[in-house]
A and B are shown apart, each in its own frame.
Chain A
Amino acid sequence: MDTIPTSDVVIAIRGLKISFGDLHVLRGVDLDVYRGENLVVLGRSGTGKSVLIKILVGLLRPDAGTVQVLGQDVTRLAGRELDELRLKLGFSFQNSALYDSMTVRENLRFPLVRNVRNLSSAEVNKAIEEALDDVGLSQTIDQMPSELSGGQRKRIGIARTLILKPDIMLYDEPTAGLDPITSGDINELINEVKERHGTTGIVITHDLTCAKTVGDRVAMLLDGRFERIGTFEEVFEQRADDERVQQFYDYNFVS
């Protein structure tokens, strides 16, 4: 097994395997994510992209392999230790996963007051307003999630994770189901989050425009392994060598 580097590597995955019954989803994944970069994970639906980031936050347990996040092996953590690590990770869900029964303000307040002790109500309100301001949706503060558009829900979902000032942001299909203009806004927001907060990001998507716009590097997940990792240009330069990569590119850019 390779030595897991430290210093600038914030996520180091080695030999990661996970199966669901007879379905072998990840078949020995190796990946390093460096501090301050946005890494885009590309792949077909059902290839285990979302499974990968769910393993990173401890929502799923792998069958084999090590997953070091900020120097800690997630596969060996539980209870309070796992919760402490989770507070350094922001997870933006595919369908936003906003709490339906709470207003936008309560959605943002929930993780903050439960995890940061001794905050005055003025400090809580200020943090909520700042997080909403970061995503440009201050006016929605007293609205219910059902009153928001798909794009707004995504933004509020990102704001809810930003309020805890995470070191790493995990975005699960951030542009799925959104129109091109809103998708562009979300891509811009992902880049802003990285620049303004200095976060490292993993973006799960099959939208190549998103990958090109936000990705410092792109990793292509094919048949349960990362077969191509590099800049967007490096990954797709030799696309003609692999029919699957070619199809992926052609469908997105209609060439």
Chain B
Amino acid sequence: MASNTPNAATTTQPPPKRTLTRRFQGMLLNLNDVWQFVTRFFREVFLPPYEFGEIVRQCFEVGYKSLGLISLTGFITGLVFTNQSRPSLAEFGATSWLPALIAIAIVRALAPLITALIAAGKVGSNIGAELGSMKVTEQIDAMEVSATNPFKFLVVSRVLATTLMMPVLTMYTAFVALVGGFISVNANEATSLATFVEQAFSAITFLDVFSSTAKAFVFGFTIGIVGCYKGYNSSKGTEGVGRAANAAVVTSMFLIFIEEVIIMQLVNAFRPA
């Protein structure tokens, strides 16, 4: 029996302490790689030459690629959220609070989060796959030997584009979601547009808009830097490209949720009681 044969046991089960040490070392090395990558970004972003043309092109790509999906998702979110919130408020006879509730929920949380998650799936995976493919087919090396800094051209431009475009896309999502919410409120409560706008905007504070925009910047940076890191460091082969695209989405989504919680706590600390 296996339990009575110590030799067999040692060959099939490696010493747990060694494995843990190796994993821990690997994790630290990985963290160091990420740190080097992020610090290199902040070093290169301020140094000339500036790739303005490429940054504008990437901004267009980020915005254009996500626009359709964001429009649809934002609209449905606004519509469904309003419909789902109505019964609870109706129990207290407070359906007149719907515009304020919708506006607060959309501006504070839903718009930045939905936009970031959609962009992580659409843009982040694209960045991971594109850079991963360029890496394994030596296109990044080709760029480097032709005296172009590939980090600046590929990474800095993409990270800046996602960081700058995410607040714009978030505002757009908020607008589309509020349109969805208004359609539902108008159809059910016969609330006019003027009343809806007045009630919605009276509920939103400067802190809400500021925190939403700050979150969008952070989420955009996360999507860009994670996608670029995974693609730029992908291993050889087509399998590596797929893994880079997948890891770009999963890791950035995970980080977005963590950041959401942290920023929410920070903002609430500043919110007047």
Contacts and interface: CB of A to CB of B under 8 A. Distances in A.
B147 A93 contact: no
A114 B138 contact: no
B139 A114 contact: no
Nearest to A89: B145
A59 B145 contact: yes
Given A54-B141, A111-B146, A114-B147, 7 more contacts: A84-B147, A86-B146, A99-B134, A99-B142, A100-B133, A161-B146, A164-B146
Contacts of A93: 138, 141-142
B138 A94 contact: yes
Q: Which 4 interchain pairs have the tightest Cβ spacing?
A: A97-B142, A83-B147, A111-B146, A97-B138
B144 interface: yes
| Secondary structure of the B contact surface, majority rule | helix
17 contacts: A54-B141, A57-B145, A83-B147, A84-B147, A86-B146, A87-B147, A93-B142, A95-B137, A98-B142, A99-B139, A100-B137, A100-B139, A101-B130, A110-B146, A115-B147, A160-B146, A161-B146
A91 interface: yes
Interface of B: 130, 133-134, 137-139, 141-148
Contact of B138 (A83, A86, A95): A95
A83 B133 CA distance: 24
Contacts of A97: 137-139, 141-142
Nearest to B142: A97
Interface string A205-224: 00000000000000000000
Contact of B142 (A87, A89, A91, A115): A91
B245 to A, nearest CB: 15
Interface residues of A, number: 24
Contacts of B142: 91, 93, 97-99
Contacts of B137: 95, 97, 100
A164 B146 CA distance: 9
Nearest to A59: B141
Contacts of A114: 146-148
Nearest to B139: A97
A54 B141 CA distance: 9
B36 to A, nearest CB: 16
Contacts of B133: 100
A100 B137 CA distance: 10
A124 to B, nearest CB: 15
A56 to B, nearest CB: 10
A86 B137 CA distance: 20
Interface string A28-63: 000000000000000000000000001001010000
A164 B134 CA distance: 22
A91 B148 contact: no
Contacts of B143: 99
A94 B139 CA distance: 11
Nearest to B130: A101
A111 to B, nearest CB: 4
Interface in A91-129: 91, 93-95, 97-101, 110-111, 114-115
Contacts of A84: 147
Contacts of A91: 141-142, 145
Nearest to A90: B145
A227 B250 CA distance: 50
A93 B143 CA distance: 11
Nearest to A82: B147
Contacts of A83: 147
A128 B145 CA distance: 19
Contacts of B139: 97-100
Q: Which of B134, B137, B146, B148 has the most CB of A within 10 A?
A: B146
